[in-house]
Amino acid sequence: MTDRMEFPVKVRKAAYDRSGGICECGCGVPFGKERVEYDHDIPAYHGGKPTLENCRALRWSCHKVKTAQDMQAIKKTRRIIKKQRGLTAQKATIPGSKNSHFKKKLDGTVIKR
């Protein structure tokens, strides 16, 4: 959750060499003419470091999918942190429920609890 660190050129080059020209997501498709992108296996938001161990050379189309999945996990983490810190909006009380300040009696009169 600190500032995001991109992969240095040296790490990107090493990841590219390691890939052997094949996408490292597991799809086994060669890069071909598609743009190669470098993915944080553990997202930077979750403490992933810009090291070769955390770097994967992916085809652009595979990286797009991986990033969408990561963003879901990151958004969930943000929601949990917000809840833990008590920063979520207060839920509205349903009128007439036991949590509201008023009570409606059977004859229709409304009294304060």
Site residues for Zn ion per CB under 5 A = 23, 25, 27, 62
Q: Contact 24/56 with Cβ under 8 angstroms?
A: yes
Q: Which is nearer to Zn ion, 64 or 76 (CB)?
A: 64
CB of 40 to Zn ion, least distance (A): 15
Nearer to Zn ion, 27 or 42 (CB): 27
In the complex, the smallest distance separating the C-beta of residue 59 from Zn ion, rounded to whole angstroms, is 5
Neighbours of 24 (CB within 10 A): 21
The SS3 assignment for 75 reads helix
Write down the least CB distance from residue 36 to Zn ion, Å: 11
Q: Shortest approach of Zn ion to residue 62 CB, angstroms?
A: 3
Token reading at 70: 């990561």
**E strand spans, the chain:** 36-40, 55-59, 102-104, 110-112
Residue 1 or 27: the one with the smaller Cβ distance to Zn ion is 27
Token digits of residue 109: 């009169």
Give the nearer residue to Zn ion in terms of CB position, either 11 or 57. 57
